[in-house]
């Protein structure tokens, strides 16, 4: 029996993301460090309502290798306190001002679904608006365009902000959720371009857990390559999420290894930006995957030479 010829690798690659003069792509993937200015984040290790705690977290994230820092002022899920737009502004804007002053080259992202919050943050050099609620506020993408920021287009199955999924169904075929994700992200990216945001400032995020069961999230993760085929840089926000916890039977504090496994799979399949609580570990995983894929060279390659 003849030996098979090694097949050429045909791995998904997306166009580059370009923000604040920096380029992120398959050879230079990005870690988006998370800083939650909230007392009630689902992961206790990232609760930085105290300003000094948030400043320390910022410096630590940069030192650990974060390219982007994503600042949020409201817990994503329905548990926890109600937060008005003004309270959200009070939580995030002074911190963004501090971040820009202390780390002028850092890409700053704001996790919000409210256009008035993004507008309030504009003067501090906001680079990216992370709209995790699928354009719930239709003005948000236009504000991002007006202030020169990029945007994250997401998929939540149409649920309004801070809504946890209950009895969610996309159809009998497990791939129906993937079809809905692809359609929604394509529509979101098209709307962002029509609003005046350049294609290389647009990220698409399949938004696992949001509007999805664990089975849905796992199916969408397996199809990261199809998301990449839409032709925009792909963000995966996997960190310590419930689909990891339910897969392994673990609480948030114990979900690091599962998160990193999901991260490696998503990176292999073409995602290039990763929103993460654990910056250093994520940095090493995605850089290693980039080397294995052949998108970047090893730092050193002297063994056996």
Domain ranges of the chain: 24-76+84-293
Which residues does 2 contact at the CB level (< 8 Å), separation at least 6? none
Residue 80 in this model has a pLDDT that exceeds 80:
no
pLDDT at 146: 97
Q: Percent of the chain, pLDDT > 70?
A: 100
pLDDT at 41: 85
Mean pLDDT to the nearest integer, 233-242: 98
Ranges 44-58, 156-170, 206-220, most confident:
206-220
pLDDT at 78: 74
Residue 177: count other Cβ atoms within 10 Å of its Cβ.
Answer: 26
Q: Percent of the chain, pLDDT > 90?
A: 89
pLDDT at 8: 87
Q: Which pTM does this prediction carry?
A: 0.95
Taking only the tens place, the pLDDT of each residue in 136-182 is: 999 999 999 999 999 999 999 999 999 989 999 999 999 999 999 99
What kind of fold does domain 24-76+84-293 have according to CATH? TIM Barrel (3.20.20)
pLDDT grade, residue 285 (50/70/90)? very high
């Amino acid at each position: 029996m003849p030996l098979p010829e090694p097949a050429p690798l045909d791995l998904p690659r997306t166009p580059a993301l370009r923000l604040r003069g920096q380029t992120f792509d398959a050879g230079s993937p990005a870690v988006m460090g998370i800083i939650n200015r909230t007392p009630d984040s689902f992961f206790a290790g990232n609760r930085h309502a105290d300003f000094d705690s948030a400043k320390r977290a910022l410096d630590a994230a940069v030192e650990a290798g974060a390219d982007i820092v994503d600042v949020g002022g409201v817990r994503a899920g329905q548990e926890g306190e109600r937060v008005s737009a003004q309270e959200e502004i009070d939580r995030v804007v002074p911190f963004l001002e501090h971040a820009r002053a202390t780390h002028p080259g850092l890409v700053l992202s704001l996790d919000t679904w409210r256009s008035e919050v993004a507008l309030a943050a504009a003067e501090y050099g906001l680079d990216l608006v992370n709209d995790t609620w699928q354009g719930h506020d239709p003005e948000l993408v236009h504000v991002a365009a007006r202030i020169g920021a990029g945007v994250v287009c997401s998929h939540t199955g149409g649920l309004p902000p801070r809504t946890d999924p209950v009895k969610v169904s996309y159809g009998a075929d497990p791939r129906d959720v993937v079809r809905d994700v692809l359609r929604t992200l394509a529509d979101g990216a098209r709307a962002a371009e029509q609003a005046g945001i350049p294609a290389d400032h647009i990220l698409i995020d399949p938004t696992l857990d949001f509007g999805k069961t664990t089975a849905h999230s796992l199916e969408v993760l397996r199809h990261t390559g199809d998301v990449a085929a839409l032709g925009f840089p792909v963000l995966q926000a996997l960190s310590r999420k419930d689909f990891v916890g339910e897969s392994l039977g673990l609480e948030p504090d114990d979900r690091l290894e599962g998160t990193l496994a999901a991260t490696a799979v998503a990176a292999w399949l073409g995602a290039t930006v990763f929103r993460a609580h654990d910056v250093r570990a994520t940095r090493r995983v995605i850089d290693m995957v980039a080397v294995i894929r052949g998108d970047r060279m090893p730092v050193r390659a002297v063994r056996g030479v």
